[in-house]
Amino acid sequence: MAVEPRKPETRVLAIASHVVYGHVGNTMAAFVMQVLGFEVAALNTVNYSNHLGYKQSKGTKTSADEIKDIYAGLKQSYLTDFDVLLSGYAPSAEAVAAVGAIGRDLALSASTRPGSFFWILDPVMGDEGRLYVNENVVPAYKSLLRDADLILPNQFEVELLSDVKITSMSDLVDAIARLHSDHRIPHVVVTSVRFNPSSTTISVVGSSARVDASPRLFRIDVPALDCFFSGTGDMFAALTVVRLREAVSEAGLSGTKSWRSPDEIDATGLPLARATEHVLESMHTILEKTKIQRDTELAKMGGPQGALTKDSEKRLHLRKTKAAEVRLVQNLDDLRLPGTKFKACAISEGEDWNAAKLPRPTNNST
């Protein structure tokens, strides 16, 4: 019988969006981390009725001054003893700067205790070649890179941060190497990597830098699912907080600045690689089950040739989007007890990598 790994006591400040309905932003991240045993304080950067995948919502954005004020309230009551900062969507460049000030303040407070504070930055800016924030948000995020311990950009976002156009694995390797060397970022994980839109797999590529800032690169391929989900980046980030904290503790690196591994540890032996394997196990299983439930729900509505086709285009979109909400609460065991299908594979700089050279997932992967 599988046993849930023991987790170090951890307090997280999660700064991200909030929605009333569904699982996106802190509504996703805070829940995931709390279910897995972490204490979470959620500072919400927006308060919306629902996520923007519905193409309509009501609610308000949190201003930079309000973000600063809320943090000041925590600080005046000595409530900032956080082990981890997880920062996600911020609605403006000013809000990004406010989050950066919080991260720097927390890091400064922990500066005499190496490893006691870790900042995971998810630079939410856009996807698939399209920005969904103002252009001035990009330089705002770039200004934070030297302060973060781990960044979690997707393929498009890593292009924006590294100024490298990415059309191949070698381009991506170059971009990650630049982030390590130019911005001194200890750890990078790039999500949603896909160079061919028709590919049946999606990759996650990560790296932990050596002392000389050279990368130790790994890659994990997972089967692509023919469904659009919202909140998956937030789920990935939240699970990374938990699984990386576990892996670092097991490796005895909790007292090391930025949780850096010794240079002799190879790519697949990194705590970051081990953590990412577990993250993807949980995510892929839950998203597979969500897709099955979505398809069942849509079939009950009449299917593609039935009643659904009689609805207005807007109503049809709303129903499909609702049906694809991630089934998180129904699948808590998959959060707590990830499987062992996916394994990281090392990437060498200058090597021409492709999916055919990677180890195939085992144990009922589709």
Q: Specify whether the CB–CB gap between 157 and 126 falls below 8 A.
A: yes
- Which has more confidence, 286 or 2? 286
273's tokens:
């690689």
Give the Cα separation of 217 and 238 in Å (integer). Answer: 22
Query: Residue 160: in which H helix or E strand, if any?
Result: helix 155-162
Residue with tokens 């802190």: 26
| Residue 39, φ and ψ in degrees, nearest 5 | -80, 130
| φ, ψ at 191 (rounded to 5°) | -100, 165
d(CA 278, CA 137): 31
Tokens of 18: 């909030």
pLDDT digits (tens, 9 = 90+) for 128-179: 899 999 999 999 999 999 999 999 999 999 999 999 999 999 999 999 999 9
Distance, in Å, from the CA atom of 125 to the CA atom of 238, rounded to the nearest integer, reads: 18
- Strand partners of residue 126: 131
Average of per-residue pLDDT values in the chain: 92
pLDDT (average), residues 64-68:
98
The rounded distance, in Å, linking the Cα atoms of 308 and 284 is 28
Confidence of residue 7 (pLDDT cuts 50, 70, 90): confident
Amino acid 104: pLDDT: 98
Residues 353-360, mean pLDDT to the nearest whole number: 41
